[in-house]
Amino acid sequence: MRYSANFSQGQEALVIDLASVDEVLGTTRSVRRRLDFDRPVAPEVIEECVALAAQAPTGMNREAWRFLVITDAAKKQGVADLYRRAMDRYASLRPSPLSPAQRALSDRLHEIPALILVCSEGRPESGNHAAEVAFYGSVLPAAWSLMLALRSRGLGSTWTTLLLVHERETADLLDIPDDVTQTILLPVAYTRDAVLRRANRKGPEQVMYWNTWGAAREPAE
């Protein structure tokens, strides 16, 4: 196990357990089926995770993120119906069939203990690239932190955007004001028999350039 020690003036020495941090960063996968649909998730646990999510960067310090936690059975059913409609349409447009896991999440969304809709107050300025990046960059890092915090507590989730196809109907269902932008929906439940591993992703040598676009790092002299 590796440890990193971080000393800063006026603070006690802080030891970060790299193995645990790396495990959470490296194995926070989509969990769609291996979920415990019957085990409740305490509101306090979700609040703790949201408190960590709110440590993410936030443009102009606005903290415009809002986390709408849906636990009410009728509302979950309403969201699940919209999600399924979006999924069916998506499936009809694809050349290949949906994976059983994608289908399973869609079929059982209403049974998941908590659905968290991550929103931002305001609307991005359409056509202004810098403003759009700042807008979404001020909410999506918090959403990812939330997923990591959930994972570290044994909770599984999936980063989903399909519901956005029905943003208007979702807003009506949940009384979301017009000037609030919906982003991702995280279905949250304790995992059950889920073995989460690092995904097979491109390595740094395939996705990194040094100093000039397309250039590999110069070998050390």
**Residue 181: which H helix or E strand, with range?**
strand 180-191
Binders in 172-211 for ligand FMN, by CB under 6 A? 199
Q: Which stretch binds ligand FMN (CB under 6 A): 10-18, 67-75, 152-160, 210-218?
A: 152-160
Is residue 30 near ligand FMN by the rule CB under 6 A?
yes
**Going by C-beta distance under 8 Å and a sequence separation of 6 or more, which residues neighbour residue 2?**
18, 19
Residue 138 or residue 158: which is nearer to ligand FMN going by CB?
158
Smallest gap from residue 30 Cβ to ligand FMN (A): 4
- The CA–CA distances, whole Å, from 28 to 62, 88, 112, 151, 200 equal 27, 26, 18, 6, 13
Is residue 158 near ligand FMN by the rule CB under 6 A?
yes
Is residue 162 near ligand FMN by the rule CB under 6 A?
yes
Q: How does 181-204 read in b/e, with b if 16+ C-beta sit within 10 Å?
A: bbbbbbbbbbbeebebeeeeeeee
The identity of residue 133, as a single letter, is V
Smallest gap from residue 101 Cβ to ligand FMN (A): 7
Q: Which stretch binds ligand FMN (CB under 6 A): 110-118, 160-168, 175-183, 202-210?
A: 160-168
DSSP symbol at 159? -
Binding site for ligand FMN (CB under 6 A): 29-30, 32, 102, 105, 158-162, 199
